[in-house]
């Protein structure tokens, strides 16, 4: 069973109405990130997008739609809703 935490959030790094880069901020060490689409399938995090060592998430390679970002930290798991336009 997962310990769900509220201490993690996605902060936009780019200006404008439709940001495509986010910083992962919160308590605890970030251990893993996955993106799940509206159909429940995990989207691959590739070199053209994804998360890097600075905990920045790039979604420019995703198609427009509703996604869930699952962030595993040392204190638990957080899930954030993300809309790509």
pTM: 0.74
pLDDT, one tens digit per residue, over 20-53 is 788 887 777 788 888 999 999 998 875 445 555 6
Task: Tell me the backbone φ, ψ of residue 30, rounded to 5 degrees.
Answer: -80, 120
Q: Does 2 reside within a domain? A: no
Higher pLDDT, 64 or 2: 64
Our count of domains for the chain comes to 1
Q: Which of 36, 61, 38 is nearest to 48 (CA)?
A: 61
Residue 46 lies in a domain: yes
**What is the domain extent for residue 61?**
8-84
CATH code (residue 25): 2.60.40
Dihedral sign, Cα of residue 42, residue 47, residue 52, residue 57: negative
State how far the Cα of 40 lies from the Cα of 48, in Å rounded to an integer.
22
């Amino acid at each position: 069973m997962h310990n769900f935490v509220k201490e993690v959030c996605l902060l936009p790094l780019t200006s404008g109405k439709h940001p495509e880069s986010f910083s992962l901020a919160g308590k605890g060490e970030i251990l893993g990130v996955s993106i799940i689409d509206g159909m429940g399938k995990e989207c691959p995090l590739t070199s053209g997008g994804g998360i890097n060592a600075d905990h920045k998430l790039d979604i420019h390679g995703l198609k427009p739609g509703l996604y869930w970002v699952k962030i595993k930290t040392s204190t638990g798991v957080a899930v954030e809703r993300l809309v790509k336009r």
